[in-house]
Amino acid sequence: MGVWHISGMGISPGAVTGPLTCIYLLLKAGSMGNAQAVKFFETAGENMQERKGAPEALIIFTSKEVIEGEKQGEIRDDWFHTTKRKSVPKTIAKYLSGLLKKLEDENFNSFYNGEWIRYIHFIVVNYQDFNDCFPKCYTTINALKEKEIWINMVGGANPINASLILSAGFIEANAKTYYTFESTSSLLHPSIDIPDFSNPITEPLLARLSILPFFSLDLGKLTRKLKETFLGREKVDIREIESRLKELDLSNQYLKKLKSGGWIIEENKTAFPGEMLKRWNEMFEKVKDYPNDYPSWKKWAEKMGILYTLNLRGELAQSGEI
């Protein structure tokens, strides 16, 4: 089982290629038996899986203008001298194909079973609107919740990144959130000297990669329980809320959090739905008929007209196969 990398992106393709370069170089080092690289991927994959951490898919949330080439930032590639293509996706494909050619050898091919990455998808969002980003991010992560998901926090606008984190939290997906820091947004690779692609040194790569301490709590289940509690009623006895928390194995400490967070309002032992709960109920109305696996997710995105697919040859198509 491979890793499904999910991220937002603006006009800088390096926000995607830089972190992925670190991942690929660490995989290469791991394939050569480097202990630090092997340890980095030890929690990836399934328990009995020998080769762990290989990217299987890349799903990127961004604007239609970025996908179709109307907007693209300046780029710099000191390793392969990649030049800007007609669109950000095509620039990404050109750079990654150059990187993977450098990494390819007999040992690494066996690591990947001959296939570098199966799917590269772009999803159109209004990156300035959380109300547009969240339903699309939530639907995507819900459909992939049985897969291993790594969320890249480098490139997305705040509404996209917030949507990705909250979606993983509401769904209780198997998601890991990571970040790499680079001072130059135009750079397509990490700001280190060109590595030995046959056996990369891990220290400068690990120094850039940070796994963020987020984890999932299945807040969606809590939201649904509270919605059921208030269904057809404007108020309930506070003890009903406490009972719902107990059903979810949540302590009464969560009652304080629900009140302070604006989820419920308590007056004289009576609970009323708060503004935050009302907002989340409205949000989930937009995603109540969501797909539950990758094939149905792909059909959903195609029907919505928001799916673009890319391959490493630089071919980009809206919906369908290429």
Query: In whole angstroms, what is the distance from residue 180 CA to residue 182 CA?
Result: 7
Query: In whole angstroms, what is the distance from residue 261 CA to residue 254 CA?
Result: 10
Query: In whole angstroms, what is the distance from residue 29 CA to residue 9 CA?
Result: 27
Domains of the chain: 3-216+289-318 (no CATH), 219-285 (1.10.10.10)
Query: In whole angstroms, what is the distance from residue 141 CA to residue 164 CA?
Result: 8
pLDDT of 74 above 90 = yes
pLDDT of 42 above 90 = no
Region 44-56: what's the mean pLDDT? Answer: 68
The whole model's pTM is what?
Answer: 0.86
Q: Which amino acid is at 19?
A: P
In the chain, count of helices (H) and strands (E)? Answer: 13, 11
51, two tokens:
């080769």
How far the first Cα of the chain sits from its last, in Å, is 23
Q: How confident is the model at residue 115 (pLDDT cuts 50, 70, 90)?
A: low
- In 111-245 the beta strands, taken as DSSP E runs, fall at 119-124, 148-152, 175-180, 209-212, 236-237
Higher pLDDT, 285 or 149: 149
Q: How confident is the model at residue 116 (pLDDT cuts 50, 70, 90)?
A: confident
Mean pLDDT (the chain) is 88
Region 129-133: what's the mean pLDDT? Answer: 94
Region 166-178: what's the mean pLDDT? Answer: 83
